[in-house]
Structure 1
């Protein structure tokens, strides 16, 4: 029995070494295909488009829960989804964090899988001796910068210690925490009108200053009416931004930097050809590629900085206006918070309330 166990252990070690060697060499993982690909190397365009849209939505404020709800409604399934079911929440999170999306190779040891089940592949990147990630041999869906931007956004939503995750779907209403009472400055909460009442039938819910949260308890307003007013004001402001910022000719400096990027690509291709023709030693080739990659990284940072122009901001404003109706609540909240400091609501005063009359003069939007 002892000898049999030793043979089994030795075989397991050999398999593990082989798999690690394959990962280090950038070979695709064998077995069941990954979500986004139709096989080990070739992209499935329909699933890839889902992933690209999900990335954009997350960067605009959408939560994983929102993405999961959308995919489930579409009947999306991953290769691991049991028959008759749609993709699960944890699977959506897993596929969005998968470094394979940008070509990075991950390797999760079998003992880790057995001990922990599904783990975060982003934490198990295979690296070269110089600390850079190993790039695999398959078609990619994101660039490394796009994938890292997505990971950074998701990781920025980790628990803040308050019991609620930043960016979570717990906040259901558009202006919770944004709308404030003019009398005491407290953030407004939301509640449902009593079922069967006219207010419930017409509006459904309301914002109010809650005593339990430290507020004065002397203010309440119909939720949908306030939200419609704020949405219209925001969209009008974004339209103004889009109109007043005229697209300008590209900055000459930006044009020059972009040309530098193209030249770097040409130099990298030339170095590879010289190496293939055995006109560069391996050491010379490695040094040259590393130099060019470092130059490429700093040049891309310069491009990003120079591209952040007012014209770009105007274009972003126009896009938000165009796509607003398709935004989820959490995406709309993020855009509101990007432009508005607070929505301050005043009380109507003694005898000032009129049944069924909306009074916009009692609402003040504090813009950033």
Structure 2
């Protein structure tokens, strides 16, 4: 049944009707929009939240989570490939993991399913590069508890140490949970102890730096023309034609096994490289063509790990200067250094 591309299972897949072959228009459209949003920068968690707000449920009638979004997107059936579940047992941890992969035919090619595809193979490859092809062992964990940890550095001459988050002592009569970012004391051997700044105000400033940079880059992408076709498409097509040609010649015994497999190893390595390059090309192109994510509007719906990811992706570091006057704007003390800048 796998080799014939016949669908199985008791529950209909999301995006398809009960026959598991015919597209369910509304769900298929939602999946296409989800793929577009992932490729243009949205997070699975934000998409799950939007689905739940809209009252869109899974085919079992349940709400969405970031993991169910990833599960649907990882399944190659949405690009027309027959899939199968693979269970792997880890003897060291005593746990079992389950992943979904395309079924391959005798020639090592993905088996086409007996149903309509929702997205292209290229888009499926690109989106799984972003979210990962295999499930994580658990929810992502980030040891950082503060938005600026690992990003903020002391701007005093000769220092440059990372600032540390420190809860305000009770004697300062600050609100519950208030904290500072401080340069470690000289006695610690890690800093100068000469810089301290309000934590909540600094985190708010970091948020605005990230959002402003995101919006600036979105405007630049919209103002810049994008190529209609990836420049390596012809080379990739030629490599695949050569592989097919040599495979046929080998079946006819026109080339030796040694020559054939030597050629195949080299050509498949080139094919993998080109596919990876195409995926890397598609992501910025789709971001330029698609509707940019409204980071300003969605920031409040992101969890801490997702906010940290945006900060780390945008900012290489932020230098924090000493206070010039009491009560001055926190933003005036920050010098952002963005990733990708010289």
The two structures have a TM-score, normalised by structure 2, of: 0.61
**Aligned residues, how many?**
299
Correspondence for 1:78 among 40, 47, 58 = 58
Q: How does 1:257-296 map to 2 (within 5 A)?
A: none
Corresponding residue number in structure 1 for 2:76: 99
Correspondence for 2:109 among 132, 138, 141 = 132
Q: Distance in 2 between matches of 1:146 and 1:137?
A: 20
Q: Distance in 2 between matches of 1:132 and 1:173?
A: 47
Correspondence for 2:329 among 355, 358, 361 = 358
Corresponding residue number in structure 2 for 1:38: 17
Corresponding residue number in structure 2 for 1:179: 152
Q: How does 1:338-349 map to 2 (within 5 A)?
A: 338-348=313-323
Q: How does 1:155-170 map to 2 (within 5 A)?
A: 155=132, 168=141
The two structures have a TM-score, normalised by structure 1, of: 0.57
Return 5+ residue gaps in structure 1 as ranges.
1-21, 265-282, 288-293
CA-atom RMSD in angstroms: 5.4
1:26 lines up with 2:5 in the alignment: yes
Between Structure 1 and Structure 2, which shows a larger proportion of strand residues?
Answer: 2
Q: Distance in 2 between matches of 1:111 and 1:169?
A: 26
After superposition, the C-alpha distances for 1:88-109 in whole angstroms (9 at most, x for unaligned) are 6654442232121211111348
Is the contact made by 1:257 and 1:299 (CA closer than 8 Å) also made in structure 2?
no
Q: Which protein is bigger by CA-based radius of gyration?
A: 1
Between Structure 1 and Structure 2, which shows a larger proportion of helix residues?
Answer: 1
TM superposition shift of 1:151: 2.2
Is the contact made by 1:60 and 1:331 (CA closer than 8 Å) also made in structure 2?
no
Comparing 142-151 with 219-228, which one deviates more in the overlay?
219-228
Task: Go from structure 1 to structure 2 and tell me whether the alpha carbon gap of 1:152 and 1:186 turns closer, same or farther (over 3 Å shift).
Answer: farther
Return 5+ residue gaps in structure 2 as ranges.
90-94, 239-247, 253-267
Q: Distance in 2 between matches of 1:158 and 1:109?
A: 12
Q: How does 1:142-221 map to 2 (within 5 A)?
A: 142-155=119-132, 168=141, 171=144, 173-182=146-155, 184-190=159-165, 199-200=174-175, 204-209=178-183, 215-216=190-191, 218=193, 219-221=195-197
Task: Go from structure 1 to structure 2 and tell me whether the alpha carbon gap of 1:187 and 1:41 turns closer, same or farther (over 3 Å shift).
Answer: farther
